Chains A and B, each alone.
Chain A
Amino acid sequence: MSRELSRLYRALVEETDGRALMAPEQLRRRADRRARNRAAVGALAVAALVAGTAAGAQLVRTSGPGTPPGPPAGTPTSARPTPDASSPVPSPTMTRATPSRTPGTSPSAGPPSSRTPTTIPDRAFFALAPANDAGIAAEFTPGPVLPELCGAEPGGSGIVQRRARVLAYKLTGTPAGYVPDGSYRHSITIYRAGRADDALRELRQAVRDCPLQQVPDAPGVRSTQRLLDDGGYGDESVLFEVRTPYRDVNGRPTGGDELRLVRAVRIGDVVTVLWEQGWENTSSIRSQVDADSRRAVEAIRRWWN
């Protein structure tokens, strides 16, 4: 072993040992307080989201002169296309499904439900396979459901309701108790009739229009975006990757790219997005994202039926 280098490390140890960490009791109290605060903020955010959605729905119901009145709650509407963007929001219970404006996009696996829900319960969100369960409860939080794409906001209009959560997972084989191997920003959005396919089309275009962009808060660092071949998920799907160079603490590239995979899947008027965000320094693994995408689609189909 290098004596010189050992001496330098010893000097670092001696200096570090002169520094004190907080007492364990204090650390536990602080950790518990932060967990409580986080839970409270999460509950408030969900409450605000629910209130905002209700207020937004009310606004849309009463929107503009000439807007046809919405159906009474609980009354099914006809299964007629409603291309008018100002068409009434579905009632708080259930409405008949309105076909997508995209031809030939009927659900690929089994008959679709004849009704499109207008609220999103917890059971609409998939459960991880037991081998991937990191033992960390998912947190429903507001915020972006897609990565930055040169300022575009694909799928930002025609929304009836959206819920999103953060879900940590581990890879099969990672021992229990280890830090997770990755995490998802997982969202489910109900669109007005016929608007979900617009959302996916806008997303494809946004990725195409943004092959290179500056990474926020990382001067001089750029990410690349590109669409990947995809299929077999829901009625249609969009898969794209975001690559960012790995960097050292000084922001200099260290070789290799951090890969993020994002998949949006449309099932009728619902779009679910799995945005793999890694866990600190991990990259997305396609097979894992594929498997969880299938679970996400199955959960939505079960929710409808």
Chain B
Amino acid sequence: MRDAPSFDDFYRTTSARTLRYGRAVVGDPGEAQDLVQEAYARAWRQWGKLVAHPAPEAWLRLVVSRLATDRWRRSRGWWLAINRTGPPDHVRPPGEDSVLLVGALRQLPVNQRQALALHYLFDMSVEDMAREARVPTGTVKSWLSRGRSRLAELLPGISAEELEVDDVA
């Protein structure tokens, strides 16, 4: 039996963070909304088990990441069939900084975007990231290092020195 109040609490306390993560990984705000809501819909369907999960928010991020990867790979498959909610009625236009960052992130592989999002949005340690992604810590360091080096190339005015690649080592 699924407990709706506990799911609602979980949703209210985590959805803003998850949406930020989705936005940083997916780029497009509307798609990020759809994808995050799809992840929560899956969470609700499995809530009977997930409620006892040691890290349900990490589980959600993993679903978001995999959906993000899947989104373009099967873009003409089931993804187009899910209910799109569309943007809210009143949305501020994206700022210049967001446009710059999203444009650069879109040119990075998904795993590098995930690692950068976990680092900059959640201030997560390399060890925690590796645990969540179930990869060695060296892999996470590589994703971060490569991701930031690539961002340095893509973002005007940000030098590689400013990115301080070693600060997560």
Q: Interface on A for B, CB 8 Å cutoff?
A: 1-9, 11-22, 24-25, 27-28, 30-32, 34-35, 135, 175-179, 216-218, 246-251, 254-255, 279-281
Contact = CB atoms under 8 A, between A and B. Distances in A.
Interface string B1-19: 0001001100110011001
Interface in B72-89: 72-77, 82-83, 85, 87-88
A281 B66 contact: yes
Contacts of B120: 1, 5-6, 9
Given A9-B121, A13-B121, A30-B83, A24 B12 contact: yes
A18 B95 CA distance: 12
B33 A19 contact: yes
A11 to B, nearest CB: 4
Contact of B19 (A7, A16, A280): A16
B76 A217 contact: yes
Contact of B101 (A12, A20, A216): A12
A30 B4 CA distance: 14
Nearest to B27: A249
Given A12-B20, A19-B88, A250-B107, A31 B97 contact: no
Interface string B40-56: 11101110011011100
B146 to A, nearest CB: 11
Contact of B41 (A13, A30, A217): A30
15 contacts: A5-B148, A12-B97, A12-B102, A15-B92, A16-B19, A21-B33, A27-B11, A177-B49, A177-B59, A247-B72, A254-B109, A280-B66, A280-B73, A281-B66, A281-B110
Contacts of A8: 97-98, 100-101, 155
Given A28-B44, A34-B83, A35-B45, A9 B24 contact: yes
Given A178-B62, A281-B70, A20 B88 contact: yes
A5, A30, A35, A175 interface centre (most CB from chain B within 10 Å): A5
Given A8-B155, A12-B102, A248-B109, A31 B29 contact: no
A177 B83 CA distance: 25
B69 interface: yes
A138 to B, nearest CB: 15
B83 to A, nearest CB: 7
B135 interface: no
B164 interface: yes
A2 B148 contact: yes
B97 A18 contact: no
A32 B42 CA distance: 10
